[in-house]
Structure 1
């Protein structure tokens, strides 16, 4: 399962994590998810849904936001994802 960090740590940490996760897990440079490794705002639920749909495969969302799963379930119809709520990392 592929992974993405959304509202997990600070915005800068999530951007750094996703810059690696979204590039390394894409099969080639033309995979639509690659764009999000550069532009994704990890606190923007609309962009998060776009990225989850662009991936078009099961995705693991890592977050420290207890409310994120319900917001994504309401907004991201058609996206295949699971949400793991973990303690925020110490930065």
Structure 2
């Protein structure tokens, strides 16, 4: 059991991505206990904005928070792959 002054924080491996402005960002997720809930957020590891992360959520369990953060990073990755795929298809149709 954790003492009252201790926080459990999980840092999940992130990924490189591009934001909507075309700037490379380095996403990572944090999961930690916040009162009775588990908090998860995803932010740019090299330029963290604690008051304005890319995504965040509150969950009943640590497992649910980790699963949600991993799914959100996977969704970012799928969206990135889809954008690249569309760009390649556009280039191929021009040729």
- Asked if Structure 1 and Structure 2 have the same fold, meaning a TM-score greater than 0.5 normalized by the shorter chain, the answer is no
TM-score (norm 2): 0.27
Q: In proportion to residue count, which structure has more helix?
A: 1
Q: In proportion to residue count, which structure has more strand?
A: 2
TM-score (norm 1): 0.28
Q: Which has the higher contact order (CA 8 A, sep 6+)?
A: 1
